[in-house]
Structure 1
Amino acid sequence: MTGREGRARVGQVQEGRVYIGSFTSAGGRGITTAAVDGRTGALTVLGSTDALPDPSYLARGPHRLYAVSEAEHGLVQAFALDAAGLPHPAGPPVPVAGAGPTHLGLAGSWLLTANYTSGSVSALPVRPDGTLGGPAAVLTHRGSGPDPERQQSPHAHQVLADPSGRWVLSVDLGTDSVRICAPVAPDPGAGAPSVHAEVRLPPGNGPRHLAFHASGALVYVLNELRPLLTVCRWDATAGFLEPVGEVPVAPEGAPGSARAYPSAIVASPDGRFLWAAVRGTDTIAVLATAGNPAEPQLTATVPVGGRWPRDLALDPSGQRLYAANERSGDVTWFAVDPQTGLPHRAGSVPVPAASCVLFG
């Protein structure tokens, strides 16, 4: 933990904590801890730790905070949180047996990582105290896509448990597919998840991240190589995913617009709205889902207030949206209009090479 600012503010009464991942190789401070004001949503930086290089994505468990190290020899680290909510390493980092882990998530008694460079998903057992065991079990993806620069091989980009807790969905940008993995056993001794099914999406889309509708019956897959949202029906009983339509997340033919690279998607807890971060255009796309969740409508695009928004997060109340802007080195936050879903910028805080925002 570093910085006078962090030590000076530890005693202040705050209503929550936010953890921000960043790329230390690009000047980031590692994991930054900020207090969040429950009334205004404003963030106040408390301190940071660079105990793990390039902690680009974070996840929260009942006992620990977890981070991936997005490096050639990928690692994952468990952190204990002290009374002020500041993280400290809980044991040594654990190899994931994969390269470039870019995302992680908890499923049952497993911590899973999506390894972009090696195109695989790793599963590590989580002990009862939240620390990590090993070695990792690895699911290696196979295949490619039509884009000669981005899809010559698999590139797992996200791994996420479904709301039922029975399945894990793995999104692969390189193979234009979503893999459904099972079982998510409560006991690591029952074996690591294995591939149950693979669902192909339109070639060249480059799926990156997904989010579930509040009903649990729909999945929204955000594509990076084309600025589109693929809508899928989800059957949690059978573990079946069916694409049913696509919706743009960037206006077509906007004068002077840059190429759009969507990055992250968030669904509102009441099922009425979706928000997608779009790099290049540096916007947040607002989609309404209240009329028909299977046919979301793009209603607005709002400037994100920074450059290259890599991640979006909604606060637990669903009233504020936060964006990690990697290239401008800040986190911006927005008050969300409950009627229209439109985000209105409310503030920002400097965080060099910001890559992820997590409420803790």
Structure 2
Amino acid sequence: MAFSKALILGTLGLVPQALGATLLASHYTGKIFSLSYTGGGSNATLVNKSSASGCGTLPAWLHVSPGSPTVYSIDEDWNGSGVLASYSIESDGSLKQSGRAVTPGASVHGTPYGGTGDNPAFIATVEYDPSTVTTYKLPLSNGSAILHTTKFNMSEPGPNARQNAPHPHAAQLDPTGRYIIIPDLGADLIRIFSIDAETGSLTACEAGVADPGDGPRHGTWWSPDPESTDGQRLYTVNELGNSVSAWTVSYPEEEGGCLALKKTQTLATYAEGSAAAPNGSKAAEVHVSGNFLYAANRADETFGPQNDSLVTYSIDASSGDIKFVEATPAHAWFPRTFSINKAGTLVAVGGQTSSNVAIIARDPETGKLGELLADLKVATPGTPQQEDGLSAVVWVE
């Protein structure tokens, strides 16, 4: 029976085979876990190989640097003292701390930037409640000090009760590495900064304006040709509006100018025909693979108790417009995070409240998400709607 199932799924292109892959998962108990995924189809296994500490009490985000076996951990600790940590990723997938700096805390996301090639010289973090973006010089050490802090302001509250102040929720590089975008959930803006790669200075550009009450959280980039910025698009997930938005991207003709964004579309993250998102649902994460866009819904329980959804959109290769395709099981409760491998064959979903990592098959040609291949509980379960449980999951490639 298992062979028949694997044969059928293999015909559909939904049973990727893997000799072995490493994933990292952070947990709000203050640890980062190294997971090993092997096999494929009915023979797939996912196991916890090791763990590392030293990342503070609430490691909220993990960033694996492309081209470098380094991961950065950003600590969300709200008690006035957090940790910004770096680790080298060893050949067996285990982590060895390479740097550690004390921060004011409350950081929810961050990205390395500047420098040359695969050697970033700085890192930027965003602080949700203090309403700030903070920069540090790399490499990190006990003597690392804040390079610069920018505090955001807004003239009046937004339409949602959570929009009482600016709430930056992510710091993300554009594909050229010349700009950082900061989706601001409180101010309904996509803040844009140009980068001075030598000094680490960030210069504010005119922000992209979301619809009132959208609450943009994270973004992801796409272009018809991955080697070119022609036709570049930004897609954002809107936590408060339970939606995703598409933005056109304009680059300056002269060096040192500003990137500009213009919103062209907003589509719901729940099934077409539904009047509204389920009560308590909050869109969480967004990623692109090929000509498909994916977003995660937290606490929608579309597929039964404690089983939320991932939604798929197709991307028109000529216009960049998106179209809702379907909702599929996340195999997780409160999926705060998900990550797609480079081959586009596997999706790792991190359930915050269920505190599990689920590996789901993906067909790179059709964009369809398939069967659950492996599932692993990590540390202790979280509490619904609270800051505990699993926080982030990333592939190491």
Same fold at TM > 0.5: yes
User: Does the 8 A contact of 2:338 with 2:394 survive in 1?
Assistant: no
Partner of 1:328: 354
Equivalenced residues, count:
335
**Residue 81 of structure 1: how far off its partner (Å):** 3.0
**Residue 337 of structure 1: how far off its partner (Å):** 2.2
* Residue identity opposite 1:106 in structure 2: P
* Residue identity opposite 1:249 in structure 2: T
* Residue identity opposite 1:225 in structure 2: L
Partner of 2:209: 200
Does residue 32 of the first structure (1) align with residue 33 of the second (2)? yes
User: Does the 8 A contact of 1:178 with 1:198 survive in 2?
Assistant: yes
Partner of 2:84: 76
Deviations 1:267-305 (A, max 9, x none): 01x2x1011001121200010114555321111001111
User: Does the 8 A contact of 1:145 with 1:176 survive in 2?
Assistant: no
List runs of 5+ in structure 1 lacking aligned partners: 1-12
Does residue 58 of the first structure (1) align with residue 62 of the second (2)? yes
- Of residues 201-210 and 29-38 in structure 1, the stretch that sits farther from structure 2 once superposed is 29-38
Q: Equivalents in 2 of 1:316, 1:266: separation in Å?
A: 12
1:261 aligned to which of 275, 282, 306: 282
User: Does the 8 A contact of 2:296 with 2:335 survive in 1?
Assistant: yes
Q: Aligned pair in 2 of structure 1 residues 42, 219: CA closer, same or farther (>3 Å)?
A: farther
**Residue 39 of structure 1: how far off its partner (Å):** 4.7
* Residue identity opposite 2:47 in structure 1: T
**Residue 124 of structure 1: how far off its partner (Å):** 1.0
* Residue identity opposite 1:197 in structure 2: E
Q: Equivalents in 1 of 2:277, 2:207: separation in Å?
A: 38
1:175 aligned to which of 183, 187, 190: 187
2:259 aligned to which of 239, 242, 249: 239
SS in structure 1 of the partner of residue 109 of structure 2: strand
* Residue identity opposite 1:156 in structure 2: P
Does residue 230 of the first structure (1) align with residue 245 of the second (2)? yes
**Residue 91 of structure 1: how far off its partner (Å):** 3.7
User: Does the 8 A contact of 1:110 with 1:126 survive in 2?
Assistant: yes
Q: Equivalents in 2 of 1:346, 1:184: separation in Å?
A: 44
- Of residues 234-243 and 320-329 in structure 1, the stretch that sits farther from structure 2 once superposed is 234-243
Q: Aligned pair in 2 of structure 1 residues 42, 104: CA closer, same or farther (>3 Å)?
A: farther
Partner of 2:152: 141
Q: Equivalents in 2 of 1:164, 1:140: separation in Å?
A: 25
Does residue 67 of the first structure (1) align with residue 103 of the second (2)? no
User: Does the 8 A contact of 2:100 with 2:141 survive in 1?
Assistant: no
Does residue 94 of the first structure (1) align with residue 111 of the second (2)? no
Q: Equivalents in 1 of 2:50, 2:275: separation in Å?
A: 41
User: Does the 8 A contact of 1:166 with 1:236 survive in 2?
Assistant: no
Q: Aligned pair in 2 of structure 1 residues 191, 257: CA closer, same or farther (>3 Å)?
A: closer
Q: Equivalents in 1 of 2:194, 2:261: separation in Å?
A: 14
**Residue 179 of structure 1: how far off its partner (Å):** 0.8
User: Does the 8 A contact of 1:64 with 1:131 survive in 2?
Assistant: no
Does residue 115 of the first structure (1) align with residue 127 of the second (2)? yes
Q: Equivalents in 2 of 1:166, 1:304: separation in Å?
A: 34
- Of residues 230-239 and 29-38 in structure 1, the stretch that sits farther from structure 2 once superposed is 29-38
Q: Equivalents in 1 of 2:28, 2:147: separation in Å?
A: 24
**Residue 84 of structure 1: how far off its partner (Å):** 2.1
- Of residues 214-223 and 161-170 in structure 1, the stretch that sits farther from structure 2 once superposed is 214-223
List runs of 5+ in structure 2 lacking aligned partners: 1-17, 115-120, 253-257, 301-307, 381-388
TM normalised by structure 2 equals 0.78
User: Does the 8 A contact of 2:195 with 2:203 survive in 1?
Assistant: yes
1:44-55 equivalences in 2 (<5 Å): 44-52=47-55, 53-55=57-59
Q: Equivalents in 1 of 2:83, 2:21: separation in Å?
A: 28
Q: Equivalents in 2 of 1:131, 1:65: separation in Å?
A: 15
1:279 aligned to which of 282, 292, 298: 298
- Of residues 41-50 and 106-115 in structure 1, the stretch that sits farther from structure 2 once superposed is 41-50
Q: Equivalents in 2 of 1:204, 1:148: separation in Å?
A: 6
Deviations 1:99-125 (A, max 9, x none): 421111121222111211211111111
User: Does the 8 A contact of 1:168 with 1:184 survive in 2?
Assistant: no
Partner of 1:218: 233
**Residue 201 of structure 1: how far off its partner (Å):** 0.9
- Structure 1 runs (4+) deviating above 6 angstroms are none
- Of residues 166-175 and 141-150 in structure 1, the stretch that sits farther from structure 2 once superposed is 141-150
Partner of 1:20: 25
* Residue identity opposite 1:160 in structure 2: Q
Q: Equivalents in 2 of 1:191, 1:339: separation in Å?
A: 40
Partner of 2:386: none
Q: Equivalents in 1 of 2:169, 2:92: separation in Å?
A: 32
User: Does the 8 A contact of 1:78 with 1:93 survive in 2?
Assistant: no
TM normalised by structure 1 equals 0.86
Deviations 1:323-355 (A, max 9, x none): 110011101111112343121222211124111
Q: Aligned pair in 2 of structure 1 residues 191, 209: CA closer, same or farther (>3 Å)?
A: closer
- Of residues 229-238 and 291-300 in structure 1, the stretch that sits farther from structure 2 once superposed is 291-300
Q: Equivalents in 2 of 1:174, 1:86: separation in Å?
A: 37
Q: Equivalents in 1 of 2:263, 2:276: separation in Å?
A: 31
Partner of 1:6: none
